[in-house]
Each structure stands twice: as C-alpha cells, then as structure tokens.
Amino acid sequence: MFRLAAIAFFGFSSISQATLPKAFLAEHCHQCHGPNKQKADRRFDTLATSIENFEQQELWQDIVDQLNLGEMPPKDKPQPSQTERLDAIKALTNGITTSREKFKGVSQHTTLRRLNKVEYRRTIGDLLGLDVKAWDPSEDFPSEVTHQGFDNNGDQLVTSGLLLKKYLSAAEAAIQRSTHFEEKPESKNYNQKSPFYFQGKESKNLPKLFLTGRFRFVPETPYTDLYGRHYRGGHLGFLPLYKQGGVPHSGQYTIRVRAAAVNRTHTYPNGIITSRNGDPLVLELASVDRRGSVTSAGNVRKMVSLSTHELTETEPKWIEWTGYIEKGYEPEVRFRNGTISAKNLVFKLGRLAQNRPEIKPFLHLKPGNERGHGMLRAYQGPKLRIWEIQVEGPHLSSWPPEGHQLLYNDLTPPDLNKKTIHERLTHFAQKAFRRPPTKGEIKPILALVSGKIDSGTDPLKALQLGFQTILCAPGFLYLKEDEGNLNPNALASRLSYFLWSSMPDDELLQLARSKTLNQPEILRAQVDRMLAHPKAKRFVGNFIRVWLELDNIGRMPPSPDFRNYYRDDLGNAMRIETEHFFSHLLDQNLPLEEFLTANFSFLNRELAKHYGISGIEGTHFRKVTLPNSTRGGILGHGSFLTASANGVDTSPVIRGIYVMDKLLDYTPPPPPDEVPEIEPDVRGAITLRQQLIKHRADPSCAQCHDKFDPAGFALENYDAIGAWRDRYPDKLPVDASGKLDNGKTFDNASNFRQLLATQEKPFTRCLTKKLLTYALGRELNSNDRPTIDFICEEMAQPKKGLQDLIQSIITSETFLKN
C-alpha cells in the first residue's frame, strides 16, 4: 500500500517536497482557522512548513481528510479549483507519509492496561474455576471511565485506593471460595409438597414470603395457585432450603416442579389482567440470596434467574432443570408472565368485574383476608398451579474442584511448610500473571508468607495470604505489553482478552512458550478455534455493549410508564436479539452489509409483538424473516433504538449522531457554546422536528446538522423503546422524510435503509475502527491509518465476512505490536 502512494507520488513530479501548501491554506482556510477565528478549535496559520511533531501530523491528517471528503471549504464559501484541491491533498498526504516513518510508533502504544470490571470478573472465574454469575467479585467496584463508549482504554482506566481496597476483599473471598479441604459433599434430596404458606405456630420467624396474608392462604387443595408476577401471591419459597440457609455447597443442582397452567384463556373484560389472554403461562425458576437482608416479602439481596418453562395444559406435569446454584442461595418458583400482582388483581376485580357471579359475593367485604382469599379462590383467570417442588444435589463430577487443585494440588494442611508453600505460590503466580513472574515480583510475596509463618501464623492461613497478594499484584491486574513486537505471552493475553475477555488458556500459553503463536497459520487457526469456543459469547456481548453504548439504557432506563417494557422483559430480549444477530453474522462469516440490510433477525414472542410481528410463539429466540420493510438490519433493533433515546422520548439530533457515530464513522464536533437549548413545548402544535428545522435554517448550524439530523428524522417512527408509531403521543403525525448531505432524499425509514445500504465502505471502516479500538485498548490515530486502509481494502474483496475482518485485525502489524 505504501508502494501505491509512492507510485502516485512519482506520477505527479511537480511536487517534490512534502511541504505545507501555505498559499492554499491562506486563501481558503485562514479566514476561519487563523488569527482571527479558530473554528472547531483549529488553527492553521501557525503551522510549520513540514511536520515537526506528532500533534502536527494529526492536524495535517485532519486537514487532508476534510479536503478529501469535500467537507471543507464549506459549501457556501468560494471553492478551490479541482487542480488546486488535488495539489494540496497531494502535498499534505506526502508530508504525512514521510512523517509517519519519523514518528513511527508514536501514540501507538497501549498504556499499561488494567483489567476492567468485566475482564477481572471473567479472569477470576476462569483462573479459579468459579461460577461468577451469582457471586460476582467485581460487583461493588466503581464503574470504569469510558472513552468514546469503550471501557478498556488503558490510558483512561484509573486505579485508586478505593478500588485497591475492593481488590483485597475480592481476592480474599475468591480464595476462600476456592478452598475445599472437606470431604466431597453428598448429593441430597429436598422435597416440599403444597402448601407453601404457613400460619400459626409453624410460621414463627419465617420471612413474609412463607406466611399467609391478604393474598396468600393455605389452600384446601393439594396444590397452590400463583396469580401474578410480583411477590404477593406470585412467588413461592422453598422451605426445606430456607431452613438450611440455602444450598450447603455451590454446584450443579436439579430442580423439579410439578405444575400446570389453568385458565390460560379467560373471559374477563379488558383492563383487569395485564398479561395477554391466551399466552402460555411461564414458570420461572430463580435462585435468591435472602441472607442478612429483610423481613418483608420479596426484598432479596440478589436474584439470579435460572430458567423459564412454558406451560399450556391443565394436566399437571413435571418440569425439570439442572444447573448451577451458588452456596447459600435458595430456589424460588415464580409466575413470570402473570398479571402485575395478586393485590392489583383483587383490586381490579372489585372495581371492574362487579357483575361476575363468582366475584359478587365478596364485593361487600372490607379489604382483608376474607375478601382477598375469597376473590382469589373464586377467580377464573390464568393461574399457575404448583403441586410439588423437589431439589437434588449437588452433583459433583470431580472433587476437589479445579480451583482447589490449582491452589493446593494434593497437599493437605499438615503437608504445608515453607518449601511446599513457596512452590504453590510460584506455581499460582505463573498462572495468575499469565507469564512467569520475575524474581523481583515474587520475592517480596514469598518473604511476606515466610515472615508470617515465622511469627506463628497458621501455614494454611499464611499461604492464603500469599494467594491473596498475588491476586492484588500488578502482574495480575495489568496487561504488560511494553513497546515493539509483542512478546509471545503478551500476544496470547491480548488475543484472549480480545476474543474471550479473559486470560489465555493452556493451549494458547503452550504455543506462546514454543514461540510459534505469531506465525500466521498458527495464529489464524487459533482465532478460528477461539471464535468457535463458547467463551466467544463474551466477546459478542461485551463488544456490542461498548459499540452501541448499551449501558446508556441502564443509566436512563425507560420510564415505568412504558409498562410492557418491564412486563415482557424487553430490555433483556433486545440485548439477546442483537447478540444472536452478531453471533450469526460471525458464525456464518456473512458480509458486513448484512448489518445494514439484513431482512431477518432473532426474536421471541414478546419482542415480535413489540415489533408488530404476529405468529411467533414461545419465549425462546429463533431466526425470523422480517415480514415487511419497517424493520431490517441493526437500525431496526430495539437495543439500537433504545440506547439512542433517553428513556422517555426521542431526539432526532441524538439519534442522528448515534447513527453516524456507530455506523458511518462520523463523530460531529460538540455544539458551539452559544447554542440555546431546544425547549420541547406541548402547548403549540409543533413537533420537535419542526422546531429543529427552524434552528437549522442558519447555515453555520446546518453545516453540521445536515450531516446527522436526517438519520434522526428517518428513525422518528420508532419511539423511545423502538416500537413503531405513526403519530406522536400528542397525536401529531410523524414525518420521517429527509435529505442526505449528498442530496439524495428519502420518505421513510425503509428508503433511508436502502440509501444506507450503499454506504458499505464507511460502515466497514467504522466497524473496523471500533473493533480495532476494542482489541488494542487504546485510541486510534493518524499512524494507524495504513493498517485501517489495508484492512478496508481486504474487506472490499468479494465474499469477505465478519470472521475475515477479525482475522485481518489480528494478523495486522498494529495488533502484533505495541
């Protein structure tokens, strides 16, 4: 590629120097970027004739980019002739090419990069063989600093006393959890038949969940019915395990529930029951941590959803699930998609079902047990009916667990002395640091432990202090990449943190040791292996989260006024849709344009209904061909549309900028200080779009806004949670038409999508840059251009897909060096 530039250079031999085109700049640029004005904080009149330092190289790159795109001079100003423009571009480009040699490597080093929250959690999990879903070692860590949405930027990540203190606690807990000198626990059976609520003597000291109340009663039948989603009358606790303080050991357990779906279809009028008439009833199994927390119903410290099961028949059947439950957690059974709550149900029945014969007898009663119980017993709407719950476990295939083996091998506490302890610590440090520790790193830790033993500390305790120290050392917490070609261990780590968000496995480390990992065929084969591995799911989930800034949704969650968002668990569903979509494009190595144009997605019933697509049953996700043109590609994904709104309403400006930044490699400069806010005003019959158009009439505003507002307008038919709307809440019609910066017009989102489909090259470039930023853990700059250009050219060849893009990135010089 450098050769191409050189040929071009020699073809136009009138320019022999790579000097700043001063005359050109003076005529066309200094007016706004000179001594009197410095628009967008850029000033060119003080630039030297040739590039003197890296910052100047960046500025030259900036100038030539604007000239190449035709963005500058602004359209309403006098334009240079084509020759003048080309000459200037040539001079600048040559200057940059030369200076890149001089400033090779500048700003292309990832700074000593700390593991971020996600990576820390995964690494602890992988290193010690711990399930880190329920017990999350990073749970109370402060949030990371993000840079352009990315939370793994080595330069930006901060270590503080607060964080270090948390590392100390987390490390201590991790080692405790991994230590198992006890005998292999026996699998036990636990059983409870209905009833699940208690009163009188039996109920003493039980949490509210197990007690009868206004909406919970001891039934005369051999089953207990659940009526709604929330705690009162919607959840069942499991008494045998509550009494034991939860399951005694972490591990695999089997839960069986005998259940049925009653009155799936009902004849109650609208407005009483908030779930959909006729839907299968969903039973959810969850594990909860009730310790140290509360006495009132429902407020568990933490809940982990285990599985969901759809029931359609009135005949009871057994449903079964096997999976991991964390020590101390108890199972709960819930009516996942019931009406909002039993309390709400009774209230509504009393108000809106007064003429129903089964309800009438209770209407005169004051609110209380008699009324509540009576109505619920008589109620003929959907009920989740539970006869019996059984729990069996733990099922442990090997003992002791692999984490314990790593720490102690076959040693028992009497075997521990200074010699065996030093061996264990050195072995663990090698694993934890992802490379052999240097003498200087490990010596103080060994000295600490020896010192403790000498002063009388129990050897096991001393050893554990040593393990804890290793997990707080810089060797564990940071990725050390130095400068220049990555050494084999550093390459293995960079690769595994890219594709698995965690430490390299034995195969990678073996290849690193034999110094063959950076050989192209071996590297490619490893990438294939890693992408096919289940751990690659972490890459998909994590990359999508930072690329599309999905954490925005957590910071500004959809308003509770969007009831179905929470009822149907749409937030989760949207995230899963996008993850499945990305995974599919990856697994099938589909071309990148599918991101923009795909006529399929991955939906479950709830999400399909949200998108207005009928005929999809079941809560599982499957590939669906989208029936019409209102959805297609990532622009139609709920995740994309919700993350670009603010939880209450939409703003075309915000959405437009989001589209340009996430898909088309354009980040607009911040608004000038003097811009007044737009004040939404419902009292006039004027939409936000109409107000914006007035503001954009000013050419200096239009200059930037014309680039991104159109994308925002195109998406105005999607509300703040991505549902289609033809009208705004105040009944004004949505106008989704617009004109792109290049003059092409569109009437609606689907036209817009077609126009977008022609933007394959900018999208490829955009995704390449995002992936590269994520992979390197640093910001990209003008020195990275050659690599980015090269990868984009490769991807322009036919039949190239998402896997090829990742291979290209990993085998590039930029990835293999620091």
Q: Whole-number minimum distance, CB 474 to another protein, in Å?
A: 5
Which lies closer to another protein via its Cβ, residue 361 or residue 672? 672
Which lies closer to another protein via its Cβ, residue 442 or residue 711? 442
Which lies closer to another protein via its Cβ, residue 385 or residue 567? 567
Q: What letter does residue 782 receive in the DSSP assignment? A: G
Strands 383-395, 188-193: pairing is antiparallel
Which whole-number Å values give the CA distances from 420 to 10, 413, 437, 694, in the listed order? Answer: 69, 11, 18, 77
Q: Whole-number minimum distance, CB 359 to another protein, in Å?
A: 25
Burial of 232-264, coded b for 16+ CB within 10 Å and e otherwise, reads bbbbbbbbbbbeeebbebbbbbbbbbbbbbbbb
Alpha-carbon span 102 to 210, nearest angstrom? 73
Which lies closer to another protein via its Cβ, residue 263 or residue 691? 691
Alpha-carbon span 197 to 708, nearest angstrom? 58
The length of the chain, given as a count of residues: 818
Q: Whole-number minimum distance, CB 448 to another protein, in Å?
A: 4
- Asked whether 531 and 803 are in contact (CB, 8 A), the reply is yes
Which lies closer to another protein via its Cβ, residue 153 or residue 807? 153
Q: Whole-number minimum distance, CB 716 to another protein, in Å?
A: 16
Specify the amino acid at residue 731. K
Which lies closer to another protein via its Cβ, residue 15 or residue 211? 211
Which lies closer to another protein via its Cβ, residue 154 or residue 331? 154
Q: Whole-number minimum distance, CB 678 to another protein, in Å?
A: 7
Specify the amino acid at residue 596. L
* 3-state SS class at 310: strand
Q: Whole-number minimum distance, CB 672 to another protein, in Å?
A: 11
Residues whose CB is less than 8 angstroms from the CB of residue 265 and which lie 6 or more positions away in sequence, other chains included: 277, 278
How many Cα neighbours within 13 Å face the side chain of 239? 17
- Asked whether 129 and 403 are in contact (CB, 8 A), the reply is yes
Q: Whole-number minimum distance, CB 729 to another protein, in Å?
A: 10
Q: Whole-number minimum distance, CB 166 to another protein, in Å?
A: 10
Q: Whole-number minimum distance, CB 241 to another protein, in Å?
A: 21
Q: Whole-number minimum distance, CB 94 to another protein, in Å?
A: 30
Which lies closer to another protein via its Cβ, residue 49 or residue 296? 296
- Asked whether 76 and 706 are in contact (CB, 8 A), the reply is no
Which lies closer to another protein via its Cβ, residue 272 or residue 442? 442
- Asked whether 136 and 174 are in contact (CB, 8 A), the reply is no
Which lies closer to another protein via its Cβ, residue 689 or residue 753? 689
Neighbours of 136 (CB within 10 A): 16
Residues whose CB is less than 8 angstroms from the CB of residue 757 and which lie 6 or more positions away in sequence, other chains included: 593, 596, 597
Alpha-carbon span 442 to 433, nearest angstrom? 11
Query: What is the SS3 assignment for 632-665?
Result: CCHHHCHHHHHHCCCCCCCCHHHHHHHHHHHHCC
Which lies closer to another protein via its Cβ, residue 23 or residue 648? 648
Q: Whole-number minimum distance, CB 389 to another protein, in Å?
A: 25
Q: Whole-number minimum distance, CB 694 to another protein, in Å?
A: 16
Closest listed residue to residue 197, CA positions, set 228, 233, 163: 233
Which lies closer to another protein via its Cβ, residue 56 or residue 156? 156
Alpha-carbon span 329 to 302, nearest angstrom? 9
Structure tokens at 438: 């240097």
